[in-house]
Structure 1
Amino acid sequence: MAGATEEAAEPLRLAVLLGSTREGRVGGDVGEWFRARAAERDGLRVEMVDLVDYAFPARFPEEPTEEMDRFAAAVDRAEGFVVVTPEYNGGYPASLKQAVDYAYDEWHAKPVGLVSYGHGGCGRLAAAGLRLVFNELRSVTVRNAVSVDLDGPLGGPEQECAADRLLDELLWWGLALREAKARRPYVS
């Protein structure tokens, strides 16, 4: 995409959020593949945010815990996101929804890209459900996405092309929203 990588004063801070906490998950491999692809990009500073690294409470407490605050701070630091999600029974994991709900204002006016994986449907139903969630959080979900079929190899030419399109669009939105928020505060 021509012009999408225009020079920015500072690289866009991108968080790659691993949404599965299941033992034996494939998400670590998918997330690392995408993180490495994104790290090759000029204009991006990539941070991995892995839900496994957080000790979230089993129930939503009345007051946020230190771990909830730490996660919300990671969301706040980022200017854009790529959420890596599996599809479990036609949806995204409960661990991902729980974590997403620990932040609110921190998601506003930031672009979100989706990398989904699964057998057959490649996690597309999970991605569709997350689009609704992020819309309610006043985020901008980018149209381009990466869908990984676990019955095939990871990182082939089709997936690399999809990742590049997602990154082009995410970078454009991230820079546009950064500029817009610098001119006027986001209305909530």
Structure 2
Amino acid sequence: MHQKVDTRIRLALIYGSSREGRFCDKVAGWAISQIQGDGPFDLAIVDPGEIDLPPRHVSGKHPALEELRQIIGWADGFVVVTPEYNRGYPAILKFLIDAVGPEWRGKPVSFVSYGGISGGLRAVEQLRLVFGELHAAPIRDGVAFADVWSRFDAEGCLVNADRAEQAMATMLAQLHWWASALRTARQNVPYGQFALEPESVSKL
């Protein structure tokens, strides 16, 4: 008898900006609309503008950081919505990432970026390095909005949405595959309890 496979994936969408008047609200709102609905995802939102974060990293427990870690631990995968500021990603996003530890490990991360001529891709490439260091798995395809101010109307609706929607669908399909596969792997062997010890691998 085959066990029923849970195909629903728990995603956390992370806002990469907390600036007043941020454009991130429009881009994240669009991304959320693409994820929600009849798709195979349960969604949690991580918004640094709504979290009572401490002004610096703390060694003891902090309620907001504990809640953040619980959400990241709950999620099977992540969608990071990030702008590009001065050829990099925002400091608040780095704070959020660094405030969490093992909860990132063995989970896929995808990116929706926005900005000027580069569409936020320089920020994404930096984030790939950061998440790789944390043992997360950045996936290949993403969504990037170049010249983002011309892509959304005054009501926050995406103009000429077909290509972006197709890119988002591709990204979510890849994210679902990776999240499903890695969740099964973590259930079989918790990340860090590797089947082969480093000494054994060196002898192969």
TM-score, normalised to structure 2, is: 0.85
Residues in 1 aligned to 2:48 and 2:37: alpha-carbon distance in whole angstroms: 24
1:169 aligned to 2:167?
no
Runs of 4+ in 1 over 3 A off after TM superposition: none
Shift of 1:66: 1.1
- Where relative contact order (Cα < 8 A, 6+ residues apart) is larger, the structure is 1
Residues in 1 aligned to 2:108 and 2:15: alpha-carbon distance in whole angstroms: 16
Letter in 2 for 1:52: G
Q: Confirm or deny: 8 A CA contact 1:87 1:125 kept in the other structure.
A: yes
Q: Which residue of 1 aligns with 2:108?
A: 111
Q: Confirm or deny: 8 A CA contact 1:87 1:117 kept in the other structure.
A: yes
Residues in 1 aligned to 2:64 and 2:149: alpha-carbon distance in whole angstroms: 35
Residues in 2 aligned to 1:137 and 1:165: alpha-carbon distance in whole angstroms: 25
1:53-73 CA-partner distances (Å, limit 9, x unpaired) = 111111212213111111111
1:37-62 CA-partner distances (Å, limit 9, x unpaired) = 01135321122211111111112122
Higher strand fraction (1 or 2) = 1
1:40 aligned to 2:37?
yes
Q: Confirm or deny: 8 A CA contact 1:120 1:151 kept in the other structure.
A: no
Residues in 2 aligned to 1:63 and 1:88: alpha-carbon distance in whole angstroms: 31
Residues in 2 aligned to 1:53 and 1:63: alpha-carbon distance in whole angstroms: 21
Match of residue 152, structure 1, among 142, 150, 153: 150
1:62-96 CA-partner distances (Å, limit 9, x unpaired) = 21311111111111111100000000000000000
Residues in 2 aligned to 1:27 and 1:41: alpha-carbon distance in whole angstroms: 24
Match of residue 125, structure 2, among 124, 128, 143: 128
Q: Which residue of 1 aligns with 2:19?
A: 22
Letter in 2 for 1:165: T
What SS does the corresponding residue of 1:42 show, helix, strand or coil? coil
1:102-144 CA-partner distances (Å, limit 9, x unpaired) = 1110000011000110011110111111000100110110000
Match of residue 180, structure 1, among 171, 180, 185: 185
Q: Who wins on radius of gyration, i.e. which is larger?
A: 2
Structure 2 runs not aligned, ≥5 long: 153-157, 194-204
Question: Bigger CA drift: 111-120 or 41-50?
Answer: 41-50
Report the CA distance shift for 1:170/1:137 in structure 2 as closer, same or farther (over 3 A): same
What SS does the corresponding residue of 2:80 show, helix, strand or coil? strand
Letter in 2 for 1:110: K
Q: Which residue of 2 aligns with 1:85?
A: 82
What SS does the corresponding residue of 1:180 show, helix, strand or coil? helix
Percent identity over paired residues: 36
Q: Which residue of 2 aligns with 1:13?
A: 10
Q: Confirm or deny: 8 A CA contact 1:20 1:96 kept in the other structure.
A: yes
Q: Confirm or deny: 8 A CA contact 2:65 2:99 kept in the other structure.
A: yes
Q: Which residue of 2 aligns with 1:64?
A: 61
Residues in 2 aligned to 1:144 and 1:85: alpha-carbon distance in whole angstroms: 15
Letter in 2 for 1:174: A
Shift of 1:151: 3.8
